[in-house]
Amino acid sequence: MILRLTFLLLLTIGLVGCGGSDEVTQPDPGNGNGGDDTTATGDAALSLAFAFVGSDGTVSPGETPVSRATVVNESGARAEDVRITLLVHDDFERVSVSFDSGAAKITAIDTILSATFSLEAGDTARFEVTERVPAFYPDDTPFVGAAWFEYDHDRADSTAPIRDTAFAIDTIQTEGATFRLFAPGVQKVHLAGAFNHWTTGGDYAMHRPFVGPETFSITVPASAGDQYKFVLEDTVMHRTEWIADPYAVNLAPDGFGGFNSVYGAALPDPVATLPGGLDPARLVIYELLVDDFSAGRDFAGVTGGLAGGMQNLAELGVNAIELLPVTGVEIAGSFNWGYEPHHFFCPNPNYGTPEDFANLVETAHANGMAVLLDMVFNHVGRRAPLEAIDLLGTFGTYINWDQPVVFGMNQTNWGSLAFLDFAVESALFWIEQYGIDGFRMDFVDANDYSGWREWVRRVRERHPGVFIVGEDFSYPPFSAVNQTGMDAQWGGQDTDVWGNNANNFMHNVMALLKESPYVGRAWFPGRGSFDVADNPMWSLANVISWNMDFPNHTSEIKYIVSHDEHHVVNEVDDFGTQEAQAIGGLQKAKLGAATLLTSVGVPMFYMGEEIGEDDFVPPLPAPNPIDWNAGDADLRAYYAKLIALRLSHPALAGGGVDFHCPNWDQDQGPCQQNKTICYWRYDGLDPADSEIVVVSNFDHEDHDFAIPFPSAGEWRLIRPDGEETVTLKGATTLVETLPASVSYIFVKE
């Protein structure tokens, strides 16, 4: 705008007079260039002053302040072709313009008024503009006025015209509530809400400052609880877009399928993070979807299941819950997993109030559970406020329009400081307001590693202990963990490809449990293998251990089932081979649990897996509530036993794992042929110190196995159907017949 450009020019070249009626007299330029100005008007000397007439330093909305520029010819020579210019406000109503010195020519261009005149020796010229301050101008906004003039002269030491500048600043004082919106490039923004009967225009047009960020603001007589929206206007294309506040911390249904922002909504007292923080080496994560976890489909239902109900996660023993996105979505009452985000500072009103969510986190912490929040910063839901600002304003402020859409949604612009600031503020808000202990960041795009790296740095600057996990599919050392400083990779690459096997824990284990190639949700290709030629047990060994290209052994989140997969029982019983189906999904689920909870890394499983949930997960988000009454109690008890072992035994907290198998270096050796595997887990550097021995048979037939032990003595054998003590006297090998699809876990007493 001319207004902002001109004001910047003034600050650069002008001599400053601040407030009141400070007078500035232009001295002789004296630049020593010599010469004579042939257009000179004599040896006139003029002075300029600018002031807000009658001002006491403040201006109230509705007032009509007068801006006055005064020019005095202090010399004995007539001055001709003097040009004086006033800077006025483009969003103020202009009441009057006057010039008291003869027949001056006044021109107006947007926010600039100019007069050209002559001034006799000793005379004074006054140029006045009266404006009306809008009724709801933003509180504490600087009220700035400026004037500058120039005239020729006849001086031997300079040919340049003499110029002079003066300005004054007062402050606008407005009673009420101030609303702000950062919207670069948007031409107009109006505020609509309960306080003005949802009308737009007139006094409720929002205002921008002369210089600085393009933040629209307005102060109105709103009351706590009033609902509101911003109305963006494209005056060229005659388009408007109603949006909720991108920073809204509370939302209410608007009656049209969306949400209004709620002004002055009281937030609960800030929740502290988990006392003592979390230890990634001592972490068992339980992923859940609020909609399907309880009959109430809300925050209260989750809270009730943390230490009670059929779910009773405290009794199960998990020490972290990972919530699928709980931020606000645009469609009130609709089913949505949360991966189409619209609002980044507000718990989803479909699930409950901010108080309900705070209570959930406090209850989790009281029961020793960290709370991890699945956050979606990679893309925004259709017609999200950030997207609307981009569409009607400056492209690229928040959205990367050069990237392809993902699942029909536009990707965010990690190269934009505006978006980076927004994402950092959002993360800090969830930590500081709701006590969130960590984040699972949905789909960390390798193209944006530099932006993510800065996001991690800035969040950790305030909260060094926050646990950050990235969903990333890049192989280390080029993964998000290595490149951005995140703590762990979710769903990522664990090892090299072996035969037709995928290099992923979930793909490998599920393929072995089904005894066939893994086929997941509709968009996943078939991966994994049960074929001897593909060395499936060698591949399994790689994903049970840890990829040393990662910073440490807790850099991988490992799971067989997340929200993106079908439950093991469903996969085996409905999609497994005939042999696998004959064994049954419940027994295979126990084998999977034993493998998951004795592997290196951070284990995670999806809600319902612990009771043998067998419903088919829809390929697209749809309600799929868990029937907790139909669960298998034996499987749950087995999960609880394995979790307790995982969290109590030092050998399972470290990264030590040592594999033992006859002819392990032969592709067609007995372990490959029989689908069996044996490994020791230890804490420290020496496998001889191992205190846990795991031997598993993934086949549908029984197989004999000579189990090697690191030492003699008493070992507690944990089987899916019970426990017993095994004593080794001198011999360190135990020959056992391993039942089909069973894992034996030996723990040194």
Domain coordinates in residue numbering, the chain: 2-172, 656-748
Write out the two tokens for 510: 């599920």
Whole-angstrom distance, CA of residue 336 vs CA of residue 257: 13
Query: With DSSP H G I counted as helix, E B as strand and the rest as coil, what are the percentages for the chain, rounded to 5?
Result: 25, 30, 45
Task: Quote the strand ranges of 311-363, DSSP E.
Answer: 320-323
Overall CATH class of domain 656-748 = mainly beta
Cβ(174)–Cβ(61) below 8 Å: yes
CATH 2.60.40.740 fits 2-172, yes or no: yes
Q: What is the DSSP letter of 399?
A: B
Taken in order 190, 191, 192, 195, the sign of the CA dihedral is negative
For residue 579, what pLDDT is reported?
98
The helix/strand/coil state of 480 is helix
Whole-angstrom distance, CA of residue 146 vs CA of residue 520: 68
pLDDT for 362-386, tens place per residue?
Answer: 999 999 999 999 999 999 998 899 9
Bond from prior residue into 477 cis (ω within 30 degrees of 0) = yes
For residue 90, what pLDDT is reported?
78
Largest Cα–Cα separation, the chain: 121
For residue 30, what pLDDT is reported?
32
Whole-angstrom distance, CA of residue 457 vs CA of residue 485: 8
CA angle (364, 370, 372) in 5-degree steps: 110
Cβ(216)–Cβ(206) below 8 Å: yes
Closest CA to 622 of 334, 407, 308: 334
The residue with tokens 């205190």 is: 691
Domains 2-172 and 656-748 share a fold: yes
For residue 538, what pLDDT is reported?
85
For residue 5, what pLDDT is reported?
33
Amino acid at 44: A
The residue with tokens 């690229």 is: 396
What's phi and psi for 191, nearest 5 deg? -105, 130
- The HSE-up count of residue 298 (CA atoms within 13 Å, CB side) is 13
End-to-end CA, the chain: 78
Which run of H or of E encompasses 604? Answer: strand 602-606
Q: Which residues of the chain have pLDDT under 70?
A: 1-42, 103, 154-159, 210-212, 331-335, 492-503, 518-527, 617-621, 664-667
Whole-angstrom distance, CA of residue 78 vs CA of residue 405: 69
For residue 24, what pLDDT is reported?
33
Closest CA to 12 of 162, 148, 127: 148
Phi-psi group of 290: left, alpha or beta (phi > 0 → left; psi -120 to 50 → alpha; rest → beta): alpha
Closest CA to 629 of 316, 288, 314, 309: 309
Taken in order 705, 707, 713, 714, the sign of the CA dihedral is negative
Q: What is the DSSP letter of 611?
A: G
Following DSSP, what letter does each residue of 247-291 receive, concatenated?
Answer: T-S-EEE-SSSSEEEETTPPPPPPPPPPTT---GGG--EEEE-HH
For residue 516, what pLDDT is reported?
87
Cβ(437)–Cβ(368) below 8 Å: no
Cβ(656)–Cβ(690) below 8 Å: yes
For residue 14, what pLDDT is reported?
34
Q: In what order do the strands lie in the sheet with 46-53?
A: 23-25, 46-53, 66-73, 124-132, 93-99
